Amino acid sequence: MTHMIPTPKFEIENVSRRRFIQGLTATGGLVLAVRYLPHSAFAYETGAGAMPHGAVSDPHVFISIAPDGIVTIVGHRSEMGTGSRTTLPFVVADELEADWARVRVVQAPGDEVKYGNQDTDGSRSTRHFIQPMRQCGAACRAMLAAAAAKRWGVPISEVEAVNHEVVHKASGKKLGYGELAADAAAMPTPAAGSIKLKTEAEFRYIGKGTIPTVDLFNITVGKARYGQDVILPGMKFAVIDRSPVYGGKAVSYNETAAMKVPGVEKVIKIDGTPAPAKFAPQEGVAVVAKNTWAAMQGRLALKTVWDDGPHKSYDSQAFHKEMSEAAAKPGQPVRARGDADKALGSAAKVVTAEYYAPHLAHAPMEPPAATANYANGKLEVWAPVQSPGGTRDDLAGKMKMKVEDVTVNVTLLGGGFGRKSKCDFAQEAAILSKAVGAPVKVVWTREDDIQHSFYHTVSVERIEAGLDGNKKVTAWRHRSVAPTILSTFAPNQMHEFPVELGMGLVDNPFDIANMRMENPAAESHTRIGWFRSVSNIPHAFAIQSFVAELAHETGRDHKEVLLELIGPDRVVDPRKEQFVQGYWNYGDPWETYPIQTARLRRVVELATEKAGWGKKMDPGHGLGLAVHRSFLSYIATVVEVAVDKKGNLTVPRVDTAIDAGFIANPDRVRSQMEGAAVFGLSLAKYGEITFKEGRAQQSNFHDYRMVRINEAPAVTHVHIVPATLDVPSSGVGEPAVPPFAPALCNAIFAATGKRIRNLPIGDQLSA
């Protein structure tokens, strides 16, 4: 009773853990030529090949066909709600000419040598795998056709694979996929260059948005299985009392009292790893019991005494002040065009604003959980991880085992948002299973989740703009201060690295003669990690709020000023400017995904047109606008707010325009846009984790609030910019979040004249 799914068993021989896979041997002794298709096989290059273990597209790896014709397709990305477990398999099925009703999807375990990169983050699943998965399906279709032609003794040019069967038109002969499966499986994979892909007009599933998600039925009847739901025979349940301060140590705990709680079977200390600890578990005391409730009661009895360690004085209020002071002084330059300092000095007017975006916790509806069974020198884990391959490697490292002896089964994820890219919870389960000699499920409570996160960073963004006598912006200086994610991985990291800088700071597309971006130093005092949309959240909040402030200062229309700053249609290449080192571009080739201002302009025009920008609003109502390129997609959002006399905020309508290149699954793009509006509203209205004496002060949904249905946007209209197949697909899961908060706050200003510079909004409107 788990989510463990049988997949075809392959033994790997002579395979180095590299991008290029040399060969696999099936248990039947059949030698399969498994190759990574070279980039030249694809219409355009992506960053897929540069990810650990790259992309694999061989149908022998992803497709199996049973004699009864049932086609089984492997989903190798983790499903956390974006629909990739449905979309990528139907991409395969479409090119395969398979009938979706006769397709089953199974989840790959963590095995990147076999499946290619499985890191489900960075809004990469469709972007990196639509092409390999098309190749995969098309190659299999060619193999089935070749098998039929061979059996009939006719030229391959005379046969065609259509809707789950191969037909020979001249004779009217037909063979179903099931009848051809064994012969086709013995075929070598066709050379990449010889594979004929469908044209867009021939697609039956891709781009249609008509396929329900594969788990839909099970979700509605309670049969979908998440990490929290894993049950193994003889399994024990554990909860862990973790150090409330990052890097703290357990001094003492009352094991005797915990053991007295009925159902508690064992108390086990988990040693913390000194920071930077990557994803290693924090110091903790685990209570193992016969059910979750007993383990929770046992934990209450521990009364652990902690040595809080070096971060015990972390205080969010004091740190905000510290960051503001850093932002007021020059910092490490990260991009320069012209001479912004000089231009600011000679400007007719200088406008300055400082913005604050606090720490956030991901709070997926499913708190982290993992089940492990360590037996006979082998480890098997079931967990809702976004990083199946990385989790396997980390487990092997932590448990000092060979990677081959570790199996990671990927359950459904009850939300991820970046939290479940970090496998500390899976490592805890492995440690405990080995210690008790039985399968153990580690359950994180909501309090554990909120107080032991890998937090979204906290930041101060200070922007100064110089205006000339004609109110034209001639200078722009943006200082971004934020503890870096790198601090979780390496010591003494005080600056944002290219991945963070490249999320809206150094890739600012504005057409301003003098620009300077700086990154003053900031120390980290907690575990910093990536959170849906990452540094785009503070960067876009500051930049897109500031443009509206400039419009107000100069008495002009916000949209007009925004379009003027975006400037004429062109490609903006920050790599050509001073101090920009290693411009990241979301890990994808610049040539495929340049920064195109025409696409920014188009989504601004689309969203504003649909929202009725410029229309007369009722008293207390306002429209706000923001646009942002992130994860290689272009998204503009117009938010309508209504604020009553008491400061109560409602959102009657949202219009979001998205240009994400070719769209494989329009329905799931719409659901991501709708969801991002709610997610964005939650973080803008309530989202804040504060620290005092090193401890996260929030603990559950009463003090770390989420937007509920009665305060959610009444309707989010999604406007997709149409794009043909030759426009490279770009990210969808994250890029709609960053523009939401600034669009909302700009709308609040339009409605009330109150400018929100510090997130969250909290009670600022009623004050």
Partner 1 sequence: MISLQVNGQERSYDGDPSMPLLWYLRDELAMPGTKFGCGVGLCGACTVHVNGEALRSCQVQMSEVQGHKITTIEGLDAEGNHPVQKAWRQVGVPQCGYCQAGQIMQAAALLDKNKNPSEAQINEAMAGNICRCGCYQRITAAVKAAATGA
Count of CA atoms in the C-beta half-sphere (13 A) of 301: 20
User: Closest approach of Cβ 685 to partner 1, in Å?
Assistant: 13
* CB closer to partner 1, 459 vs 716: 716
Asked if residues 465 and 473 have their Cβ atoms less than 8 Å apart, the reply is yes
Lookup: tokens for 689: 């984790």
Whose CA is closest to 430, among 400, 472, 473?
Answer: 400
275 three-state secondary structure: coil
User: Closest approach of Cβ 294 to partner 1, in Å?
Assistant: 7
Whose CA is closest to 103, among 174, 180, 163?
Answer: 163
User: Closest approach of Cβ 367 to partner 1, in Å?
Assistant: 7
Whose CA is closest to 526, among 435, 617, 455?
Answer: 455
Q: Rule CB under 8 A: choose which of 316, 671, 690, 730 binds partner 1.
A: 671
Q: Rule CB under 8 A: choose which of 224, 259, 401, 617 binds partner 1.
A: 224
Q: Rule CB under 8 A: choose which of 212, 274, 345, 652 binds partner 1.
A: 212
383 three-state secondary structure: strand
Rule CB under 8 A: is residue 121 a binding residue for partner 1? no
The region of 81-89, 117-125, 502-510, 601-609 touching partner 1 under the rule CB under 8 A is 81-89
Rule CB under 8 A: is residue 375 a binding residue for partner 1? no
Q: Rule CB under 8 A: choose which of 126, 213, 373, 536 binds partner 1.
A: 213
Separation of alpha carbons 629 and 739, rounded Å: 9
* String of contacts with partner 1 for each residue 287-316, x by CB under 8 A: ----xxxx--x-------------------
The region of 279-287, 415-423, 514-522, 536-544 touching partner 1 under the rule CB under 8 A is 415-423
Rule CB under 8 A: is residue 666 a binding residue for partner 1? no
* CB closer to partner 1, 213 vs 637: 213
Asked if residues 60 and 34 have their Cβ atoms less than 8 Å apart, the reply is yes
Burial of 42 (0-12, 13-18, 19+ CB in 10 A): buried
Q: Specify the residue for token string 């993992």.
A: 370
Q: Specify the residue for token string 């200082």.
A: 479
* String of contacts with partner 1 for each residue 28-57, x by CB under 8 A: ------------------------------
Which residues on neighbouring strands pair with residue 254, listed in sequence order? Answer: none
Asked if residues 416 and 120 have their Cβ atoms less than 8 Å apart, the reply is yes
Count of CA atoms in the C-beta half-sphere (13 A) of 389: 19
* CB closer to partner 1, 105 vs 499: 105
Residue 360: CB atoms within 10 Å: 23
* CB closer to partner 1, 372 vs 561: 372
Lookup: tokens for 754: 């109150």
User: Closest approach of Cβ 248 to partner 1, in Å?
Assistant: 24
Rule CB under 8 A: is residue 716 a binding residue for partner 1? yes
Which residues on neighbouring strands pair with residue 65, listed in sequence order? Answer: 71
Whose CA is closest to 298, among 251, 256, 340, 243?
Answer: 256
Rule CB under 8 A: is residue 708 a binding residue for partner 1? yes
* String of contacts with partner 1 for each residue 254-273, x by CB under 8 A: --------xx----------
* CB closer to partner 1, 165 vs 366: 366
Lookup: tokens for 438: 């039985």
Q: Rule CB under 8 A: choose which of 701, 722, 726, 766 binds partner 1.
A: 701
Rule CB under 8 A: is residue 349 a binding residue for partner 1? no
Separation of alpha carbons 293 and 89, rounded Å: 39
Q: Rule CB under 8 A: choose which of 277, 324, 667, 697 binds partner 1.
A: 667
Separation of alpha carbons 387 and 444, rounded Å: 18
User: Closest approach of Cβ 691 to partner 1, in Å?
Assistant: 22
Rule CB under 8 A: is residue 223 a binding residue for partner 1? yes
Rule CB under 8 A: is residue 237 a binding residue for partner 1? yes
Asked if residues 258 and 469 have their Cβ atoms less than 8 Å apart, the reply is no
Count of CA atoms in the C-beta half-sphere (13 A) of 134: 23
Rule CB under 8 A: is residue 364 a binding residue for partner 1? yes
Residue 376: CB atoms within 10 Å: 6
User: Closest approach of Cβ 443 to partner 1, in Å?
Assistant: 7
User: Closest approach of Cβ 641 to partner 1, in Å?
Assistant: 17
How far CA 113 is from CA of 170, 190, 763, in Å, comes to 43, 20, 51
The region of 157-165, 338-346, 358-366, 755-763 touching partner 1 under the rule CB under 8 A is 358-366
Q: Specify the residue for token string 């081959």.
A: 404
* CB closer to partner 1, 36 vs 417: 417
* CB closer to partner 1, 123 vs 671: 671
Lookup: tokens for 115: 């499946």
Q: Rule CB under 8 A: choose which of 338, 397, 675, 762 binds partner 1.
A: 675
Q: Rule CB under 8 A: choose which of 13, 174, 202, 217 binds partner 1.
A: 217
Rule CB under 8 A: is residue 732 a binding residue for partner 1? no
Rule CB under 8 A: is residue 611 a binding residue for partner 1? no
Rule CB under 8 A: is residue 712 a binding residue for partner 1? yes
Total number of residues that touch partner 1 (CB under 8 A): 67
Rule CB under 8 A: is residue 413 a binding residue for partner 1? yes
Whose CA is closest to 197, among 124, 133, 149, 148?
Answer: 133
Separation of alpha carbons 621 and 748, rounded Å: 8
Asked if residues 603 and 635 have their Cβ atoms less than 8 Å apart, the reply is yes
User: Closest approach of Cβ 415 to partner 1, in Å?
Assistant: 5
* CB closer to partner 1, 105 vs 412: 412
Separation of alpha carbons 327 and 265, rounded Å: 53
Which residues on neighbouring strands pair with residue 236, listed in sequence order? Answer: 440
Which string of b and e fits 714-729 if b means at least 16 CB within 10 Å? eebbbbbbebebebbb
Rule CB under 8 A: is residue 635 a binding residue for partner 1? no
Lookup: tokens for 254: 């009352």
Rule CB under 8 A: is residue 81 a binding residue for partner 1? yes
* String of contacts with partner 1 for each residue 61-80, x by CB under 8 A: ------------------xx
Rule CB under 8 A: is residue 22 a binding residue for partner 1? no
Rule CB under 8 A: is residue 575 a binding residue for partner 1? no
Whose CA is closest to 686, among 674, 700, 672?
Answer: 700
Rule CB under 8 A: is residue 203 a binding residue for partner 1? no
* CB closer to partner 1, 131 vs 421: 421
Q: Rule CB under 8 A: choose which of 118, 445, 451, 480 binds partner 1.
A: 445
Q: Rule CB under 8 A: choose which of 119, 165, 229, 255 binds partner 1.
A: 229
Whose CA is closest to 479, among 662, 329, 645, 280?
Answer: 329
DSSP secondary-structure letter at 759? S
The 3-state DSSP composition of the chain as helix, strand, coil percent (nearest 5) reads 35, 25, 45
Rule CB under 8 A: is residue 677 a binding residue for partner 1? yes
Q: Amino acid identity, residue 344? A: L
* CB closer to partner 1, 595 vs 761: 761
The region of 322-330, 362-370, 478-486, 744-752 touching partner 1 under the rule CB under 8 A is 362-370
User: Closest approach of Cβ 742 to partner 1, in Å?
Assistant: 18
Separation of alpha carbons 684 and 495, rounded Å: 25
Separation of alpha carbons 578 and 447, rounded Å: 45
The region of 21-29, 62-70, 249-257, 676-684 touching partner 1 under the rule CB under 8 A is 676-684
* CB closer to partner 1, 81 vs 529: 81
List contacts with partner 1 (CB under 8 A): 1, 79-83, 212-213, 215-217, 219-226, 228-229, 231, 237, 262-263, 291-294, 297, 363-367, 412-417, 443, 445-447, 667, 671-672, 674-679, 682, 700-702, 706-710, 712-713, 715-716
